[in-house]
Amino acid sequence: MNVPEKPKLLSWRDIAFVGLPSLLLALGAFWLGAQFIKPAPPDRLIISTGGEGGAYQIFAARYKDVLARYGITLVDKPSAGSTENLERLRRPDFEVDAAFMQGGTARATERDELVSLGDFYYEPLWIFYREAALRGGDKLLDLKGKRVAVGGAGSGTHFLAMELLAANGLDAGNTRLIEAGGLALLERLEKNELDAVFVVGPTQSSLVWSLLYTPGMRLMSLTHAEAYTRRFPYLARLVLPRGAIDLTQEIPPHDIQLVSPMSTLLVREDTHPALIGLLMQAASEVHGEPGVFQKPGEFPRVGHSVFPLSKEAERYYKSGKPFLQRYLPFWAATLIDRVVVMVVPLLVVLIPLFKFVPQIYGWRVRSRIYRRYGELKFLENEINEDPGRHSRAEWIEKLDRIEADASTIRTPLTFSDMLYTLRVHIDLVRDMILRRTPA
């Protein structure tokens, strides 16, 4: 007894014809997403600051507390100041991600791969002098012939001091310019080793605060402050109001005109975007507070740096804190961000595939059935045109070949009705042969 052959429902050729291109498309989408996905953010960020006890170090310490809440360790690398910070960022072999920078102290080059995070705070220039050495000084020209500390070499203070002094015709030939900075200047002033000092930094700076309260020290009010801002566009004119530091002791005793560059933070372009976002959040928390020269929430803000604004910082200024980080822990938000980058290209490819692949597969199956219908129709036309061309046995043999081919079609159950309909039509043609041809 012959056991009937099990119906063949699937065609591996059809599956390969449809499945392989679909698999290649999915792999291509996966590869494309992998080109844009960033690795997990590192748990450490290295920042180049400034001299010991300076404002840059003070702010870096506050950043450290903010970043620690997100599991990021901030490593502070002291430096001479802005100029050295820029050199560190430009050196590929120096391990640093970000650095504080005083506005106006840097010139961008085509080879730079650095971006700015915007303006963070005013960084005024304070010129203190001993009252005994200089009475009523309100012009830089009054410092001619004096002993003046112009900041340490490589610092932003030194850069700005030399530019302003040169604008007034002062140089090492007519004035004793001393490259020194830091808290040690206060002791040297008290020992009569210096007549005046240049200091750049916010009011929170240890040296500025100490000099404001030291008896016998005076803060110069620059008569030409507005003129300096026209000559040096990176400077802004500020007014320190009478009593703004201390109302009880009335410090300062009258309004003081100052000039100020902006402080910014430069980062390398390859710094992880998630870390840049955290730096922006830390800056908003630290520098967004009200101060002597600023209103609440005035900083950080989009600046006019010679370096391009970071895309991540630009997004932060427009939209604020990333959406996911408002509701999820930092590690979870960054993980989802990375997964989305991979999933979106896959969905873009897979959703159309899920729609069109069954249709393509169905077309492949129907095309084989339609091909037999074509052969059947051609045979029927031949019989109608000339039934006597072949004998009944020959017509039946041709029809049997078509039926045999139809029985070998691998057809999913969904298309079984079409196959059975084909067989019914084959039987109809068989009846026509029996009627139209002699036995």
pLDDT in tens, 151-193: 988 888 999 999 999 999 999 999 999 999 888 999 999 999 9
pLDDT(36) > 60:
no
Note whether 244 and 198 are same-domain residues. yes
> DSSP secondary-structure letter at 39?
P
The residue assigned the tokens 């036309």 is 381
Q: How many domains does the chain have?
A: 3
pLDDT at 5: 42
Give the single-character DSSP code of 409: -
End-to-end Cα spacing for the chain: 32
**Is residue 399 in a domain?**
yes
294 plus 413 within the same structural domain: no
Q: Which domain holds residue 419?
A: 12-30+340-436
For residues 98 and 140, membership in a common domain is answered with no
Mean residue pLDDT across the chain? 85
Residue 218 pairs in a beta bridge with: 129
Average confidence (pLDDT) over 383-387:
83
2: pLDDT strictly greater than 50? no
36 lies in a domain? no
- Here the CATH number for the domain that contains residue 291 is 3.40.190.10
CB 395 within 8 A of CB 383: yes
Residue 4: what pLDDT?
41
Confidence (pTM): 0.67
Structural domain includes residue 5: no
Query: Nearest CA to 204 among 129, 124, 262?
Result: 124
Identify the pLDDT of residue 384.
85
- Contact, 423 vs 399, CB < 8 A? no
Domain presence at residue 231: yes
- The mean pLDDT of 346-361, rounded to a whole number, is 70
144 and 247 co-located in one domain: yes
Classify residue 4: in a domain, yes or no.
no
- Contact in structure between 337 and 389 (CB atoms under 8 Å): no
Instruction: Identify how many contiguous H helices and E strands the chain contains and give both numbers.
Output: 12, 12
DSSP 192: T
- Contacts by 392-401 with C-beta closer than 8 Å and gap 24+? 392/433, 392/434, 392/437, 392/438, 392/439, 395/433, 395/437, 396/430, 396/433, 399/426, 399/429, 399/430, 399/433
